[in-house]
Amino acid sequence: MWRKQEGARTGLTELPKTNATSQQAIAKTSVQMNRDLYESLQRGALHEASVLENARAAGTLAAKKTSSVLPYCHFKPLSAVAISFDWKVGSGVWELLIEAEVKARHAATVDSEALMAATVTALAVFDSCKSISQSIVLGPCYLSRKRT
Could you list the active site residues?
A: 127
Q: Evaluate whether 16 touches 107 at the Cβ level (below 8 Å).
A: yes
- Cα radius of gyration (the chain): 18
The alpha helices in 13-130, defined as continuous H runs, are 35-43, 48-64, 66-69, 111-129
Strand 21-33, strand 137-138: pairing: antiparallel
Other CB atoms within a 10 A radius of the CB of residue 142 amount to: 11
Instruction: Characterize 34-60 residue by residue with b for buried, 16 or more Cβ atoms within 10 angstroms of its Cβ, and e for exposed.
Output: beebbebbeeeebebeebbebbbebbb
